Chains A and B, each alone.
Chain A
């Protein structure tokens, strides 16, 4: 298995002086292509900060961050934005869909902002993804008309739209009932198996973590296991 993501001695601090808080303390982590990994740890352990840095939404204070051989710690904001669009998908605890758009329009968003319009090919892939998510009859529905589980499945479809190598999921089932949570996890596992997409899923739920092939424990800003 080749290394997709590699971070070394990752440090992230917030604030300065006496108010300085060190969230990540020299964290090291490697993710391989096709990993389905759970990120476990108590609140405040640095899971979300790590996901944010891996998602290029935030720069570390020090350390290195490479993905697909690209040094993302030295990349500019526009470069990181473009990289994020092409190679990284996000699934948040709260679905974070665009409320004024339909399910399909939300799924198409990552491709449309890259291509400047919603192409027919993108529409076909978006519809296919939603169908795989069991939402074939909800494609043109405004997201406000969908249930929590359905919204989260739309969010998963959106994360996969650009065929990213890495999907970062921060408590993706945290707001779902058990049935919906398992549906979402089954979908993630299926896509990981079918397409080899790497998933890093932050969760408190040990049952969810157990569905993953790898468990990464984080405590006090470091990988502990």
Chain B
């Protein structure tokens, strides 16, 4: 083994320019692999942070019940569903500490949600009202990162509105506005913060108030309408949601139930990445195989001499497989090195900027790239190695 390694290394160093070119070619393949890994991974991070990152990974709300039939046997005559607020979860708050204690749960935010109308002078706009607990304003949606004026902190009598709503109603920070809930209760609130998420629906239609204010607006002295839960790993939602449901009896729903399209898009993107990385590996395998095949033709007389001196076919195979392994290892290390250096200038996952490729240097799969390249190069060398081992020594040395 050691001696085969020595001969393999000598063969590689004997043709320095050819070997350097081969290693460089492998390194380019590894670089593409790493670049694609970092890009696909970063892109997924970006999409997730821009979508699932700002949404609850598990939501608990009252289960929808069938409308009450007003006339038995006449299903077409039913009671209209109330539009005032969502259904109440009267006892859900008792489970909040239990849910918070579950492994993988990073935040639990009880909310009272409903609809209402915001008025200022003659301007009237329909809004969605989100009542949130003080201190948990940014637990699910990172409101604090979107605040452009004022603060995300919600206090009694305060309201957070989007920039577009503020523009539509000519509202400035510190000004007062009337908010009437769908229950008909009206309060005068002060704009304590203006946010800009970049999503028209939110920026124009959502008002955040404290949960105390929401209780007054929706005449809900106890209970909540919804509990939002955030997880350390959003892909664990399908596992944790049933646990919560079993533990509390509440209707815990994973984000994937309504986020199937997002999951599909991420999956398609990941598969595209696998294909591109697979092609990069294939290029490496073909490059190494063709270079070693040429080498076996060039070294046929030497292989013949080795066989005449008593080298077994296995030894000859080992010499060429070792060459493949050395090329794969050196190309892998070199490619991983230049890949890492090339990705360094890109901002990290926490600092993705618009107009710049969302490349995550931490997702370069460096170790995997080196390992797969090594395996690929070894596999690529087997065919030339077997071809070399079959060389007829008599023919090769011109006997």
Contacts and interface: CB of A to CB of B under 8 A. Distances in A.
Interface stretch (A23-31, A106-114, A145-153): A106-114
Nearest to A162: B310
A113 B10 contact: no
Given A58-B394, A99-B302, A101-B10, A81 B312 contact: yes
B180 interface: no
A169 to B, nearest CB: 12
Contact of B394 (A57, A78, A86, A109): A57
A126 interface: no
B187 interface: no
Interface in B283-319: 301-302, 305-313, 315
A101 B3 CA distance: 13
B383 interface: no
A33 B85 CA distance: 110
Given A57-B393, A100-B11, A113 B311 contact: yes
A180 B286 CA distance: 48
A116 B3 contact: yes
A99 B10 CA distance: 11
B310 A85 contact: yes
B218 to A, nearest CB: 83
A96 interface: yes
SS class of chain B's interface: helix, strand, loop or mixed? helix
A34 interface: no
Interface residues of B, number: 24
B397 interface: yes
B301 A96 contact: yes
A113 to B, nearest CB: 5
B3 A118 contact: yes
B392 to A, nearest CB: 9
Contacts of B6: 118
B308 A90 contact: yes
Given A57-B394, A57-B399, A117-B2, A109 B10 contact: no
Contacts of A123: none
A113 B1 CA distance: 9
Contacts of A113: 3, 306, 309-312, 315
Contacts of B393: 57
Nearest to A48: B399
A96 B305 contact: yes
Nearest to A82: B310
Contact of B313 (A77, A85, A114): A77
B398 interface: yes
Interface string A68-112: 000000000110011011100010101011111100000001101
A158 B312 CA distance: 17
A110 B308 CA distance: 9
Given A57-B393, A112-B3, A117-B3, A84 B301 contact: no
Contacts of A55: 308
Nearest to B310: A85
A114 B10 contact: no
Contacts of A58: 394
B14 interface: yes
A209 to B, nearest CB: 20
B399 A52 contact: yes
A83 to B, nearest CB: 8
Contact of B2 (A90, A92, A116, A162): A116
A116 B1 contact: yes
A126 to B, nearest CB: 13
B318 to A, nearest CB: 10
Contacts of A86: 310
A116 B2 CA distance: 6
A81 B311 contact: yes
A165 interface: no
Interface of A: 48, 51-52, 55, 57-58, 77-78, 81-82, 84-86, 90, 92, 94, 96-101, 109-110, 112-118, 158, 162, 170
22 contacts: A51-B399, A52-B399, A77-B313, A78-B313, A81-B307, A82-B310, A82-B312, A84-B309, A85-B311, A90-B308, A96-B301, A96-B308, A97-B305, A101-B10, A109-B306, A110-B310, A113-B310, A113-B311, A113-B312, A114-B310, A117-B3, A170-B399
Given A86-B310, A113-B315, 18 more contacts: A48-B399, A52-B394, A57-B399, A78-B312, A81-B313, A82-B310, A84-B308, A92-B397, A96-B305, A96-B308, A99-B14, A109-B306, A113-B311, A114-B310, A116-B2, A117-B3, A118-B3, A162-B310
